[in-house]
C-alpha cells in the first residue's frame, strides 16, 4: 500500500493546517478537547506561552504518534489527530501571529509528502509492518458498531445494555445475510442509537414528572411553614441568613453568566475566521482523503461514504455537548466545529458545494453556541447520554485498537509478534501509561516492526509473508 495525494488534497491540507495553527495562536480554537479548558487562562495571560505549549504537547503527543499516524498509515486516509493536534501545538508555540500559519503549513506539507515517502520506504523493508497494520481495520469497524449498547449499559443498567447488544447483533447478522452491499455496522449502530434515544426520552419524562411532584411538595411545605408562628428574633435571623445566601448565589450565577456571555461574544466577533476554516475543511473532507474518526478512516478507504456519514453523525451526538460547554467556558471553539461537516461533506457531490456548506455550518454553529448551552442546561438526561456516548466510544475503541494491534502483530511476526506487542502493552500499563491506552497498541506495533526489521538485517529473525 502507498499513499498518493492529489494536488487538491495537498493544497487544502496545507491551507487547513496553516489556518488551524493561526486559530490556535489566537486562542480561538483547538482540536484537542483536553487543551481547550486551559485557553481562557492562556488568553488572559495567566498561563504563559511555554507553559501552555507544554500542556498542549503533553495532552496530544500520544494521540499524534500512537493513533493519528498509525491510522493514516494503515487506512491511507488522513485524520484530524495527525493534522490538527500538531497544529494546536505549533500555533500555541508561535510567539507571533504571522509565524503560526507558516509553521502550520510546514506541518501540512510534512504530512502529505512525508507519509507518502514513509509508506514507500516501508514497502521495501523485509518486515512490512505498515501493511500488517491494515489488520486493525476489522476490529475497529465491527467493535465500534456496539458503542451504543455500551452507552446504554452505562446509563440505564446492565439489562437494557444487554438488550441493546443482542438487538445490535441480530441486526448485524441480518444485514450481512440480506443486505450484503451495506456495511453491517451501520445499521447496528442505528438500532443502538434509536434504542438509546427511546430510553433517554422515557427517563427525561420520568424525571420531569418527579420534578413537578417535588415542586408541589415544596410549595405545600412552604405554605405550612408560613402558617406557623415564630418569634420575631428567630424569624428575623432566618430571613437575614436566607437573604445573604440568596444574594451570594445570585452573585456567583451572575459572574458565571457574564464570563460565558463574554466568551460567546468573542467567538461571534471572529465568526469570519471560523467560516474560512469551515470552507477549507469542507473541501478537504469532500476529497475523501480525510476522515473524521478512526472507524470512518477505514470506511472511507473502502469507498462507503454514506456509511461513513452515518458513523460520524452518531459520533457527533456524543461530542457536541462537550464542544459547546467547553467553548462557552473557555472562549475557544473546536477547530472542526461540531464535527457535522464530516457527514455533510462526505455526501456532497463536489468540493465547491462542500466548501460552501462548511462555511455556512461553522458560521451558524458559532452563533448558536450560547442557545445550545442554555438548552443543554435544562436536559440532564441528554447531557448524561452524550457523556456516556463519548465514554462508550473511547472504551470500544480502546478494545478494538488493542485487538487490531494484536492482529497486526500476528500478521507481521506470528506468535513472537503477539508476545512483543502484548508485552509492550502490559508494560505500558504497569509503568503508569506513559503512552495513552488507546495509542499503546499501535505504538507497540511500530516499535516491534522496527525491531524485527533490525533483527532481520542481522539474520536473527526470518520475516513471514504479510497478506
Q: Please give the average per-residue pLDDT across 411-434, as a whole number.
A: 94
DSSP letter (8 states) at residue 66: I
Please compute the mean of the pLDDT values over residues 279-305 and round it to a whole number.
Answer: 94
Q: Which residue has the cell 445490535?
A: 168
Averaged confidence pLDDT in the chain:
88
Start-end of H helices in 137-270: 137-144, 147-156, 158-178, 184-227, 232-269
Tell me the per-residue pLDDT of 215-224, one tens digit each, with 9 for 90 and over. 777 777 777 7
387 has pLDDT over 90: no
Tens digit of each residue's pLDDT (9 = 90 or more) over 297-308: 999 998 989 989
The answer on pLDDT for 274 being more than 50 is yes
The predicted model gives 407-418 an average pLDDT of 94
What are the beta bridge partners of residue 168?
none
| Span 194-205, pLDDT tens digits | 899 889 888 888
Placement of cell 448485524 in the chain: 172
Instruction: Compute the distance between CA of residue 246 and CA of residue 264 in angstroms, rounded to an integer.
Output: 27
Strand ranges for 204-272 from DSSP E = none
- Is the pLDDT confidence value at 425 over 50? yes
What pLDDT does residue 208 have? 77
pLDDT score recorded for residue 241: 47
Asked if pLDDT for residue 95 goes beyond 50, the answer is yes
pLDDT digits over 307-345, tens only? Answer: 899 889 988 888 898 899 889 988 999 999 999 999 999
Give the 3-state secondary structure of residue 62.
helix
pLDDT tens sequence across 129-170: 888 888 998 899 899 999 999 999 999 999 999 999 999 999
Whole-model pTM: value is 0.87
What is the DSSP secondary structure assignment for residue 339, as one 8-state letter? S
266 burial via Cβ count (<10 Å: 0-12, 13-18, 19+): middle
What per-residue confidence (pLDDT) applies to 271?
95
Q: How do residues 204-259 score in pLDDT, each as one tens digit?
A: 888 878 777 777 777 777 777 666 655 545 544 445 544 444 454 455 455 556 77
Q: Which residue has the higher pLDDT, 67 or 253?
A: 67
Do the beta carbons of residue 135 and residue 73 sit within 8 Å? no
**Predicted local distance difference test score (pLDDT) of residue 218:** 78
pLDDT at residue number 100: 97
Question: How large is the average pLDDT for residues 26-37?
Answer: 94
Average confidence (pLDDT) over 45-55: 93
182 Cβ contact partners less than 8 Å away, ≥ 6 residues apart: 175, 307
Amino acid at each position: 500500500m502507498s499513499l498518493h495525494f492529489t494536488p487538491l488534497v495537498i493544497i487544502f491540507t496545507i491551507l487547513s493546517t496553516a489556518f488551524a495553527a493561526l486559530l490556535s495562536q489566537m486562542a480561538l480554537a483547538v482540536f484537542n478537547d483536553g487543551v481547550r479548558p486551559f485557553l481562557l487562562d492562556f488568553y488572559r495571560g495567566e498561563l504563559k506561552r511555554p507553559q501552555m505549549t507544554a500542556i498542549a504537547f503533553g495532552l496530544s503527543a500520544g494521540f499524534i504518534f500512537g493513533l493519528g499516524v498509525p491510522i493514516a498509515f494503515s487506512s491511507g486516509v488522513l485524520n484530524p489527530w495527525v493534522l490538527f493536534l500538531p497544529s494546536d501545538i505549533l500555533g500555541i508555540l508561535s510567539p507571533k501571529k504571522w509565524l503560526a500559519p507558516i509553521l502550520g503549513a510546514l506541518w501540512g506539507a510534512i504530512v502529505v509528502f512525508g507519509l507518502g515517502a514513509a509508506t514507500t520506504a516501508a514497502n521495501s523493508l523485509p518486515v512490512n509492518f505498515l501493511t500488517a497494520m491494515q489488520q486493525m481495520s476489522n476490529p475497529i469497524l465491527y467493535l465500534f458498531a456496539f458503542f451504543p449498547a455500551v452507552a446504554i449499559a452505562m446509563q440505564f443498567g446492565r439489562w437494557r445494555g444487554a438488550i441493546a447488544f443482542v438487538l445490535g447483533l441480530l441486526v448485524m447478522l441480518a444485514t450481512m445475510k440480506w443486505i450484503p452491499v451495506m456495511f453491517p455496522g451501520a445499521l447496528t449502530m442505528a438500532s443502538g442509537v434509536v434504542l438509546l434515544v427511546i430510553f433517554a426520552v422515557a427517563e427525561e419524562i420520568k424525571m420531569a414528572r418527579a420534578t413537578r411532584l417535588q415542586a408541589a411538595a415544596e410549595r405545600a411545605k412552604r405554605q405550612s411553614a408560613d402558617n406557623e408562628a415564630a418569634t420575631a428574633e428567630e424569624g428575623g435571623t432566618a430571613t437575614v441568613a436566607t437573604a445573604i445566601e440568596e444574594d451570594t448565589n445570585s452573585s456567583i450565577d451572575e459572574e458565571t453568566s457574564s464570563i460565558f456571555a463574554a466568551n460567546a461574544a468573542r467567538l461571534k466577533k471572529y465568526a469570519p475566521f471560523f467560516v474560512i476554516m469551515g470552507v477549507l475543511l469542507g473541501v478537504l473532507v469532500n476529497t475523501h482523503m480525510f476522515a473524521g474518526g478512526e472507524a470512518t478512516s477505514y470506511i472511507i478507504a473502502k469507498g462507503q461514504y454514506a456509511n461513513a456519514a452515518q458513523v460520524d453523525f452518531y459520533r457527533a451526538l456524543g461530542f457536541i455537548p462537550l464542544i459547546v460547554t467547553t467553548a462557552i467556558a473557555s472562549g475557544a471553539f473546536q477547530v472542526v466545529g461540531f464535527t457535522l461537516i464530516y457527514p455533510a461533506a462526505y455526501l456532497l457531490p463536489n468540493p465547491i458545494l462542500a466548501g460552501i456548506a462548511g462555511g455556512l455550518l461553522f458560521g451558524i454553529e458559532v452563533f448558536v453556541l450560547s442557545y445550545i448551552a442554555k438548552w443543554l442546561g435544562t436536559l440532564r438526561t441528554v447531557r448524561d447520554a452524550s457523556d456516556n456516548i463519548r465514554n462508550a466510544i473511547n472504551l470500544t475503541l480502546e478494545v478494538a485498537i488493542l485487538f487490531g494491534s494484536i492482529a497486526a502483530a500476528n500478521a507481521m511476526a506470528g506468535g513472537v509478534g503477539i508476545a512483543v506487542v502484548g508485552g509492550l502493552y502490559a508494560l505500558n500499563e504497569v509503568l503508569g501509561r506513559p503512552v495513552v491506552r488507546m495509542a499503546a497498541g499501535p505504538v507497540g506495533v511500530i516499535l516491534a516492526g522496527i525491531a524485527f526489521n533490525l533483527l532481520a538485517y542481522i539474520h536473527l529473525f526470518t520475516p513471514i509473508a504479510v497478506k
